[in-house]
Amino acid sequence: MMSDPIFPYGPGPGDRKSQVRRMFNRIAWRYDALNAWLSLGIHRRWHRRAAMALARPHSSLHLLDLATGTADLAIALARRSPASHITGIDPAEAMLEIGREKVDRMGLGEKIRLKPGEAENLPQPDNTFDAVTVAFGVRNFQSLKGGLLEIHRVLKPGGQLIILEFSMPGMWGFRHLYRWYFRHLVPRIGQWLSNDPQAYRYLVRSVQAFPQGTAFEALLKSTGFKNTRCTPLTFGVCSLYTAYK
């Protein structure tokens, strides 16, 4: 649910939605620093690639950034499409507060509005947005199919969906290196920087369990999307998905 290239929800009491929200509220104070350390700064490039995928960037668009977190993708979208207005939604208020500070500091307060909310229960009416983006958040939806159906509902006809999500590299040697890094280094660095080991226990399993590539494209098509495309990034560590209503 958060715009996070590193952290999934962790185990704990309560339902999955509550787990995600509590975890991100706990680590919000070190979120950006952890992203920079644990992704080696590559997450910024991924956000730029997602923003570059936006169709009609020179038009005045109404954009929705789900799982916006601290608003990194929303900011990248504002830079890519200066005439557009962006609504960022996230369930973790602590993340949104940091995002608002960044947006105001960059002078983007008139273009970006950050609000609390859940991807599966959006308050906007049908056919509201020209494009919806999600950066590393669909993996944490309470209901993946339900969230995609809700995105489809609020998109205008012909509207675009842009998703960034982790994937497993296909290259044999790099695939094993990737797994070793996330299983051994990420938990240690993350615990050292955030003092919250619970935030890292689910990452490898969630990435492996998430439907990737053609499987996720099939799910997009089953929820009404067309012209789906998957573009691997950084040797397949991340995938950029685009689709249209």
Would you list the domain boundaries of the chain?
16-244
- Can you give the pLDDT at residue 169? 83
More confident residue, 138 or 16: 138
The tokens for 137 are: 């958040």
Residues sharing a CB contact under 8 Å with residue 243, sequence separation 6 or more, in sequence order: 160, 161, 217, 220, 225, 226, 227, 228, 229
Instruction: Tell the CATH topology of 16-244.
Output: Rossmann fold (3.40.50)
Closest CA to 160 of 71, 73, 241, 59: 241
36-45, 76-85, 167-176, range with greatest mean pLDDT: 76-85
pLDDT at 13 over 90: no
pLDDT at 5 over 70: no
pLDDT tens, position by position, 194-218: 565 565 565 666 777 789 999 999 9
